[in-house]
Amino acid sequence: MSQVENQQVSERVRRYVVDNFLYMQPGYELTDEDPLLGKGIVDSLGVMELISFVEDELGVQVADTDVTEQHFGSIGAIARYVERVRAAH
Amino acid sequence: MCGIAGVARAGASGVCESTLARMAHALIHRGPDGHGVWADEHVGLAHTRLTVIDLVSGAQPLANEDGQVLVTYNGEIYNYRELRRQLEARGHRFRTTSDTETIVHAYEEWGDACVERFIGQFAFAVYDRRRRRVMLARDRFGVRPLFYAERAGSLYFASEVKALFATGEVPAAPDLAGLDEVFTMWGARAPRTPFLGVRQLEPGTIAVWERGRLRVSRYYALDYPEARDETPDALERLDALMRDSVALRLRADVPVGGYLSGGLDSSITCALASAGSPHTLRTFSVAFEDPALDESAFQQVVARDLASDHAVTRIGAGDIARVFPDVVRHTETPVVRTAPAPMYLLAQLTRERGITVVLTGEGADELFLGYDLFKETKVRHFCLRRPGSHARPRLFDRLYPYLGHGRAGEMWRRSFLDAGAPSDPLFSHLPRFVSTARTKAFYSAETRAALTGVDVVDELRQSLPAAFARWSPENRAAYLEMTTLLASYLLSSQGERMGMAHGVEGRFPFLDHRLFEFAAALPTGSKLRGLKEKEILKRWARRVVPPSVTARHKQPYRAPDAPAFFGTGQPEYVRELLSESSVRRVGLFDPAAVAGLVRRAESGRVTGFGENQALVGILSAQIWHDTFFRSAAVPAPARAPAFPSALGAAASAA
């Protein structure tokens, strides 16, 4: 995946997180590496929504064992995970 | 069960009969069978009656022999017969067969300490004319409500806040700190309420008004003197306590029915009620069209086993939204769940079928560690003792298999472990507080500004009794559950208020204080053994209910939240009250933020607890605001309502 494509994935994830979890805080400044769970932006069910988004909107099948902070803990982590899985297929 | 109200003046300016009549009128749903007012130059008392004991002569306000001690009372003193015998032996003369009269004689004999002798659920006001003092009292666990306000040298008190506003002398305004507690702990914690200047008497306390000053004191404190081992006679003691508790609560001059959820607790109360009466028990249940929420099959098993005369109210699409505004008018607070609405409909059915008193199972989960919260607390402690373990958090999967979190794996489990330090006294309840507090993200800038410096969680922390630190983690959690969720929400918004909306009195065998003290002294392992909840209760209950009931996996009572208000047939008020203009007008929440939540609800994406609670909380707050503040809170009639001022038994004795 090229850098541009990675940027696009990052933006789409960011847009999804903002639209669905931060719509009540329009001024919130979220960096790519801010921990989504740690900062209370998503809860346990929010994680489920993120998985569904990655599968349905980004076309990447998520293995159960891949649902970790390393892969889903931040916008940047999700983008890198998507990049890695796409590159492997 | 009934409605009480009154006004006490520091001076001798008196209380108008029309004021008392308006207060009583505001409580007429609580007491449709009769009413009474009484006044002298200092104090006025009002009462609306739901006739349960002494159908003929128990009218209130009621006086003692010489008319110098009067009472207006809501509730039941279950050991009134035993107390009456003691009082008669000491020379007191009774002229009614009511439990009400026990109170005035008990006050004469034992003074303020009389409340310590009552087994029951009560809220009352005693006026001692000789000493010119008014004593307010509330039962140990907060079953019966009692609100009060002090203003310009007067004390106002009533079963419901609407009666205070009906005087025209108590202004209606929101207390944002009280609302903040609703959006943290599901309910404002006594003495606070969501209304500015209005307090609620804490459970287990009395308040004495004398010479224009109010003094509150505690007569009962929750304690957990946990034994190391279960005594050999524990099961027999539990058996005796349960049977006596139910037997006392069957004392009535009207038939007593039972709510039946299909779970263990109400199955127990119904089974004992059925065994304790020669009549066929009338049972009542809620059924949901949504099979994920419905417990009908379990209810039918118990109803068949008891051969009860069983009736069901079926909750379908639209039912919750249809009654929700009236539900909020009766809860008198915003709520974060729709669960009160089916209970409102259940009470309506119960009343329609001619039953005005029911036994119900609340309290068992608090006494015997039944909730998932207690198991979750245990698992969290276990995991945090070995923070790096990957195996320990898998226990959460076992705890919540129905949440389908097999996919969310490590991240989901980890979210439980980031919810507070084990050293925090509120450790057990922080996840709930954090989840509920998501509603606060929708506050308007004005609300946020007004709440600067307010920390209701820390206030709770500071209010904990000294003994708290000595209790086991499970008993600390039980205490918090008794004093936050049970008193502030379950017994009130979901229980008493919904029953009283239709003049149905709930009675709670598990909230007999002798049973509480027995359970509080049990070793934790008798209540939560591993991850098996209510262990001793289930062990005993095999004597009383079918094996399928004790073996059944606990299903928490839930009602549809956000989905109840969206979809076809959405009532106009939902769209209107959640519109940007309405949200802006009320000013509690941010219009753009609420619009985002509504957008997600309309597309069916509000699935998590936090967002569901936020949606219900915001909608109910909008309804609540318009009900109590938009116009006159309780529209005062142009003249006093046309019901006669019955002076009750007090008149002849004055």
ipTM of the complex: 0.74
Q: Does A63 touch chain B (CB under 8 A)?
A: no
- The whole-number pLDDT of residue B57 equals 66
Same domain, B257 and B203: no
Distance from C-alpha of B479 to C-alpha of B223, rounded to nearest angstrom? 8
pLDDT tens by residue, B308-330? 999 999 998 899 999 999 999 99
H-helix segments, B464-579: 473-481, 497-500, 513-521, 524-527, 535-541, 547-551, 572-577
Mean pLDDT of B377-390: 84
Same domain, B64 and B208: yes
CA torsion, ordered A78, A82, A84, A86, to nearest 10 deg: 180
Q: Which of B411, B438, B590 is facing A67, going by the closest CB pair?
A: B411
Task: Find, among B185, B542, B241, the residue nearest to B363 by Cα.
Answer: B241
Q: Does B400 touch chain A (CB under 8 A)?
A: no
Question: Does residue B88 belong to any structural domain of this protein?
Answer: yes
Question: Does residue B431 belong to any structural domain of this protein?
Answer: no
Question: Does residue B638 belong to any structural domain of this protein?
Answer: no
Task: Find, among B3, B615, B582, the residue nearest to B320 by Cα.
Answer: B615
Same domain, B412 and B339: yes
Question: Does residue B439 belong to any structural domain of this protein?
Answer: no
Q: What residues of A are in contact with residue B597 (Cβ under 8 Å)?
A: 23-24
Q: Which domains does chain A have, with CATH numbers?
A: 3-88 (1.10.1200.10)
Mean pLDDT of B379-384: 87
Subunit contact A45:B600, Cβ cutoff 8 A: no
Reduce the secondary structure of A24-59 to three states and give it as a string.
Answer: CCCCCCCCCCCCCCCCCCCCHHHHHHHHHHHHHHHC
Same domain, B255 and B193: no
- The whole-number pLDDT of residue B402 equals 61
Q: Which residue of B has its CA nearest to A27?
A: B593
Residue B487 CA to chain centroid, in angstroms?
5
Mean pLDDT of B286-295: 90
B29, B75 Cβ separation under 8 angstroms? no
Active site residues of B: 2
Q: Which of A20, A45, A64 is facing B409, going by the closest CB pair?
A: A64
B524, B474 Cβ separation under 8 angstroms? yes
User: By three-state DSSP, how is residue A78 classified?
Assistant: helix
> Is B321 exposed, middle or buried (CB count within 10 Å of its CB: 0-12, 13-18, 19+)?
buried
- The whole-number pLDDT of residue A68 equals 86
Domain harbouring B205, CATH code: 3.60.20.10
Q: Which residue of B has its CA nearest to A41?
A: B438
**B39: left (phi > 0), else alpha (psi -120 to 50), else beta?**
beta
Same domain, B209 and B266: no
Token pair 């707050």 is found at B621
Task: Find, among B480, B460, B454, B436, the residue nearest to B183 by Cα.
Answer: B436
Q: Does A20 touch chain B (CB under 8 A)?
A: yes
Domain that holds residue B608: 562-630
Tokens of B437: 């507090």
What is the model's pTM?
Answer: 0.91
Q: Which residue of A has its CA nearest to B600?
A: A20
Same domain, B589 and B488: no
Instruction: Give the confidence band of B637 by pLDDT, cuts at 50, 70, 90.
Output: very low
Strands B528-529 and B282-288: unpaired
Nearest 5°: the CA angle B1, B4, B10 is 160
Same domain, B534 and B397: yes
Question: Does residue B653 belong to any structural domain of this protein?
Answer: no
- The whole-number pLDDT of residue A6 equals 76
Reply yes or no on whether the pLDDT at B51 is more than 90.
Answer: no
B289 vs chain A: nearest CA distance in angstroms? 24
- Counted domains in chain B: 3
pLDDT tens by residue, B535-561? 999 999 999 998 888 888 878 888 889
For helices B409-417 and A44-58, give the axis angle rounded to 10 degrees.
Answer: 150
Distance from C-alpha of B542 to C-alpha of B238, rounded to nearest angstrom? 13
Same domain, B134 and B27: yes
Same domain, B521 and B612: no
Same domain, B10 and B129: yes
- The whole-number pLDDT of residue B636 equals 35
What totals of helices (H) and strands (E) does chain A contain, helices first? 4, 0
B287 vs chain A: nearest CA distance in angstroms? 27
Same domain, B406 and B518: yes
Reply yes or no on whether the pLDDT at B405 is more than 60.
Answer: no
Mean pLDDT of B390-410: 69
Question: Does residue B31 belong to any structural domain of this protein?
Answer: yes
Which residues of chain B from 598 to 627 reach within 8 Å of chain A, CB to CB?
Answer: 599-600, 605, 607-610
- The whole-number pLDDT of residue B632 equals 44
Domain boundary among B556, B573, B603: B556
Mean pLDDT of B514-530: 97
Question: Does residue B636 belong to any structural domain of this protein?
Answer: no
Task: Find, among A76, A41, A63, the residue nearest to B406 by Cα.
Answer: A63
Distance from C-alpha of B199 to C-alpha of B194, rounded to nearest angstrom? 9
Strands B309-315 and B282-288: parallel
Cα separations (Å) of A45 from B287, B293, B529, B558? 27, 19, 29, 18
Q: What residues of B are in contact with residue A51 (Cβ under 8 Å)?
A: 407-408
Subunit contact A47:B411, Cβ cutoff 8 A: yes
Same domain, B547 and B405: yes
Instruction: Give the confidence band of B201 by pLDDT, cuts at 50, 70, 90.
Output: very high
Best B410, B436, B588, B599 member to test A by mutation, with max A CBs in 10 Å, is B410
Task: Find, among B415, B386, B387, the residue nearest to B400 by Cα.
Answer: B415
User: By three-state DSSP, how is residue B528 classified?
Assistant: strand
> Is B618 exposed, middle or buried (CB count within 10 Å of its CB: 0-12, 13-18, 19+)?
buried
What totals of helices (H) and strands (E) does chain B contain, helices first? 28, 19
Q: What residues of A are in contact with residue B435 (Cβ under 8 Å)?
A: 43
Q: What residues of B are in contact with residue A63 (Cβ under 8 Å)?
A: none
